[in-house]
Structure 1
Amino acid sequence: MSDASDALAPKRSRRASGRVTLADVARAADVSPITVSRALRGERSVDKELVERVRKAVDELHYVPDPAARALASQRSTQVLVLVPLLSNNLFVDVLESIHRTLFPQGFLPLIGVTHYDTAEEELLLRTYLPHRPAGLLVTGFDRSEAARQLIARSGVPCVHMMETSSALGVGSVGFSQAKAGAAMTQHLLDRGYRRIAFAAAQLDPRVMQRAEGYRRALKEAGLYDPRLELLSPEPSSIALGGRLFEDVLTHNPDVDAVFFCNDDLAQGGLLAANRLGISVPERVAMAGFNDLAGSDQMVPPLTTVRTPRQQVGEAAAQMLLGLMRGKLLKPQAVELDYELVVRQST
C-alpha cells in the first residue's frame, strides 16, 4: 500500500492476528472497555449517548466480538445450552422463542441442541458442549441416562428442567402436570356422555405416558377402563400416523365412541381420516387432542384439545436460570403452571 493510501486508512491498533479488539473500540469511542462490553450486551444502565458512541465506533472499525476471548477475559460464558427433543412442530419452537426473548436482552445467547428423544444423543450433546463451560443449561424433562445426570451434576453449570416438575431438593424445574391434564381431558369426554374412550399415542416419551396415566386414572375411577382401547405406537407423531391410528381404533373396536389422541397432529390426522371415510364427528365418534397446535382450531370440525403453557414454561425456566447464573437462591425450586381445556366442536 502506498504512503497516500496509508494516510487515508483508519488508524486502528490490532492484535498480531489483525483483529480489531474491544480495546480499540473503547479508544475510538473514548470510553472504558467495560462500558463497551456493557453497551454491547445491551445493559440498560449504560447511558444512551455512550451506547451511540460505542455503536458508531463498532461500525467504523468493523468490530466483530470474539465470544471465546470475552469468556476467557471474564471467566464466564454468555452461552446457555438448551436441549429440546424436536423442532418439527410448534411445541418446542414456542418454548425456544420465549427462552430467546428472555435471555438475549440480558446478554445470554441460547445454543440449541436437539436430542430426538434419544438419551444417547442427549448424552453426546452434553459431552460435546459442557467442556466449553456454558453459563447455564436448560434441559427437557427428567428422562436421561445416568451418565448424563452425572455429567450435569459434576459440571457445576446451573441447570433448570423444563416441561415437568420435581420435588427433589435443589432441582430447578418448570412445567405442568401432564397426568392431571390427561385426566382432565378424559373426564371432559366422560362428562359429555362418552363411555368407550380410546387413547391413541405415538413417540411414547415420558410426558406422553404421563398423559396416558391420567387417562387410565379417570377411566378407572369411572369403572370404564379397558386396556384394549389403548393404541400405543413408538413411531414419531405425525398427521399421517394419526389417520392410521384412527382407522385401527375403529377396525378393532367398532363400538368406540371417542378417541383421545396424545398430540394434536395425531388428532388432526384422525379428523382428516374421518372426513375421508364419511364418519361423522362428533356424532359417530368424538375426537380430542393435546397441545393446541397451529391449525387445530381450523379443522372440520374444530378440535377440542388441551392448551399447554409452553410459552410460559420457556419464559419461567429462563428467568429461573438467570437467577441461578447470578448466584441467587433457587426459590421456588419447582414452578407448576396451569393448562387449559379448550372445548371445540369435535366433542
Structure 2
Amino acid sequence: MAPATSSLPRRRRGAGRVTLADVASAAGVSSITVSRVLNDPGKVSADLRDRIVAAIAELGYVPNGAARALASARPLLVAVLVPSLTNEVFVETLRGIREVLQPKGYQILIGDTGYDADDEARMLDTYLAFGPGGLLLTGLQQTEAVKLRLETLRLPRVHMMELPAPNQPAPPTVGFSQTAAATAMADYLIGRNYRRIGFLATQLDHRTLLRRDGWRASMQAHGLYNTDLEITDPGRSSVGRGGELLTQILASGMKLDALFCNNDDVAQGVVFEAQRRGMDVPKDLAVVGFNDLAASAWINPGLTTIATPRYEVGREAALRLLELMGGGSAPAPLDLGFRLVTRGSA
C-alpha cells in the first residue's frame, strides 16, 4: 500500500537541496524509477507513480534543470509554445505575454510547434531541461503522454486560445469559443439572405475544425447544410492560397452566394482573385474571414470578420501563470469573447 503523504520525511529548511535520491528513498524505489516517472510516466504503473508523485510533492523536489536555474543569478524562465511565429494572431499573443512577464524579470523560451502535436511534445521535452518556472501552451490537444507528464510534474501552466468543453476537467485556460464565433458569423450571413454559404477551411488544425462545427451548426439549424459546401485544404493558410482555392471552386462549377473563410489571409486572397476576374464583392460573392488581421480593414471592400482577442489572451494567460507560480490556486477558465466586425465584403 502506498504510504500516506504525511508519513514521508520532510527535509528541514537549510538541510540542502532535495535530490532525486531523497525522493527515491522516501518512496521506497530506485532513482531510475523516479527519473522514469519524471520523463516518461506512462511506463510506470499508476500505483507506483502516485507514490512517487506524493514523495515529490511532500519533499518539495525540484528537477535538476529547474534547481540550477533557481540557484543561479539568471532571471526565471517561462516556456511558451505556439503553432506559428509568422501568424499575426500568435505574434500579438506573444506581445501580450512579453508585456506581462518581462517587467517581472522573466525570460521567455518561445517554441514554434508548426501545428504538430508530436513536434510540440519533443519541444516540450527540450524546454523542460532548462527548468522553466511555468508553461504557456496553445490549445488543449497535447498528446496523452504530454498530458500525463505535465500532471506528474505539476508545473504551473495555462492553456491559451480555446475553452474546455462544458463539464470537461481542464487546466487553467484563457480563450474564447471558436465554435460560438463561427456560429455568429454564419447566422449573420443567413440574416443577410445568403443561402449557399460555403466554408473554406485551410490548415485544418483543431481551432479551424471548431469553426467549421460552428458554421455547420448554424447551417443545419436553418436547413441549409450540404456537405458539398465544405471545402477543405490541408495546406498552410496564406493570401496566395486563398486565390488558388477560389480558382478551383470556380472551375468546379460550384455555385455560392457567400464564402466563409477560416482565416483572414485566405479571405483576403479570395477577394483579390475575385476582383482580378472581374467579380463584384459582395454582389457576385460575399466573402468573410476570421481573426480581423490588420490588413482586413484596408482592403477594398473591407473584410467582414471575427475580431479575436489574441493580445488579451496572451496578457491574461501570463497574469494567471504568475499567480500560479506564486502559489495561487488554479483559476476557472476565462472566456474573453469575440466581436463580429461588419464591413463591405458581406
Tell me the CA shift for residue 72 of structure 1: 4.0
Q: C-alpha displacement at 1:148, in angstroms? A: 1.7
| Counterpart for residue 20 of structure 2 | none
| Alpha-carbon shift at residue 77 of structure 1 (Å) | 6.5
CA distance, structure 2, for counterparts of residue 304 and residue 255 of structure 1: 21
Q: Secondary structure at the match of 2:294?
A: coil
Rounded Cα–Cα distance in structure 1 between residues aligned with 2:66 and 2:256: 59
Rounded Cα–Cα distance in structure 2 between residues aligned with 1:192 and 1:324: 46
Deviation at residue 74 of structure 1 after TM alignment: 6.7
The question of whether the paired residues in 1 share the 8 Å contact of 2:81 and 2:110 is answered with yes
Cα distance, 1:170 vs structure 2: 5.9
The 1:76–1:303 alpha-carbon spacing in structure 2 relative to 1, beyond 3 Å, is: same
- Quote the Cα distance in structure 1 between the aligned partners of 2:129 and 2:316: 26
Q: Which residue of 2 aligns with 1:248?
A: 248
Counterpart position of 1:222? 222
TM-score, length-normalised on structure 2?
Answer: 0.78
SS of the equivalent of 1:71 reads helix
Instruction: Judge conservation of contact 2:199–2:261 (CA < 8 Å) in 1.
Output: yes
- Which residue is equivalent to 2:93? 95
Aligned to 1:277: 277
Indicate the residue corresponding to 2:343 in structure 1.
344
Displacement of 1:299 in angstroms is 1.0
Which amino acid is the alignment partner of residue 152 of structure 2?
A: R
Q: CA contact under 8 A between 1:77 and 1:133: conserved in structure 2?
A: no
1:267 counterpart residue number: 267
Partner of 1:54: none
Cα distance in 1 for partners of 2:74, 2:150 equals: 17
Q: Which amino acid aligns with 1:157?
A: L
Kindly provide the amino acid, as one letter, of the partner of residue 129 in structure 1.
Y
Report whether the alignment pairs 1:154 with 2:152: yes
Corresponding residue number in structure 1 for 2:129:
131
Percent identity over the alignment?
45
- CA deviation after TM superposition for structure 1 residue 278, in Å: 0.5
The answer for the alignment partner of 2:299 in structure 1 is 299
Rg comparison, structure with higher value: 1
The superposition leaves residues 67-100 of structure 1 with CA deviations (integer Å, 9 ceiling, x where unpaired) of 9998342799710000000011210000000000
SS in 2 for 1:279: coil
Work out the CA distance in 2 between the residues paired with 1:336 and 1:147: 27
CA distance in 1, matches of 2:187, 2:250: 21
Q: Are the counterparts in 1 of residues 115 and 205 from structure 2 also a CA contact under 8 Å?
A: yes
Work out the CA distance in 1 between the residues paired with 2:73 and 2:146: 25
Q: Report the alpha carbon displacement of residue 296 of structure 1 after superposing the two structures with TM.
A: 0.6
SS in structure 2 of the partner of residue 113 of structure 1 = strand
Structure-2 separation of matches of 1:339 and 1:176: 7
- CA deviations on 1:104-141 (whole Å, 9 max, x unpaired) are 11121111011000111101111111122200000000
Tell me which residue corresponds to 2:202: 202
Structure 2 counterpart of 1:339, one-letter code: F
Alignment partner of 1:106 is 2:104 = yes
Could you tell me which runs of 5 or more consecutive residues in structure 1 were left unpaired when the two chains were aligned.
1-66
SS in 2 for 1:287: strand
Question: What is the CA–CA distance in structure 2 between the aligned matches of 1:101 and 1:71, rounded to whole Å?
Answer: 22
2:197 touches 2:259 (CA, 8 Å); kept in 1?
yes
Q: Which moved further from structure 2: 304-313 or 126-135? A: 126-135
TM-score between both structures, scaled by the size of structure 1: 0.77
Contact 2:75/2:107 (<8 A) preserved: no
Output the CA distance in 2 between the equivalents of 1:314 and 1:158.
16
CA distance in 2, matches of 1:173, 1:68: 24
Distance 1:340 1:305 in 2: 9
Contact 1:76 1:135 (C-alpha < 8 Å) held by counterparts: no
Map residues 1-347 of structure 1 onto 2, 5 A cutoff.
Answer: 71-73=69-71, 78-166=76-164, 167-169=167-169, 171-331=171-331, 333-347=332-346
Q: Aligned-residue CA RMSD in angstroms?
A: 1.9
The answer for unaligned runs of 5 or more in structure 2 is: 1-64
The aligned counterpart of 2:37 is none
Q: Is the 8 A contact 2:306 2:338 kept in 1?
A: yes
Structure 1 CA distance, aligned partners of 2:236 and 2:186?
23
Give distance in 1, aligned partners of 2:300 and 2:327: 51
The one-letter code matched in structure 1 to 2:311 is Q
User: Residue 183 of structure 1 contacts residue 218 of structure 1 at CA under 8 Å; is this kept in 2?
Assistant: yes
What is the identity, as a one-letter code, of the residue corresponding to 1:98? G
* Distance (whole Å) between structure 2 residues aligned to residue 251 and residue 70 of structure 1: 61
Q: What is the CA distance between 1:149 and its match in structure 2?
A: 1.4
Q: Secondary structure at the match of 2:150?
A: helix
Query: Does the aligned pair in 2 maintain the 1:78–1:135 contact within 8 Å?
Result: yes
For the 8 Å contact 2:75–2:105, the answer to whether it is kept is no
Paired residue type of 1:334 = P
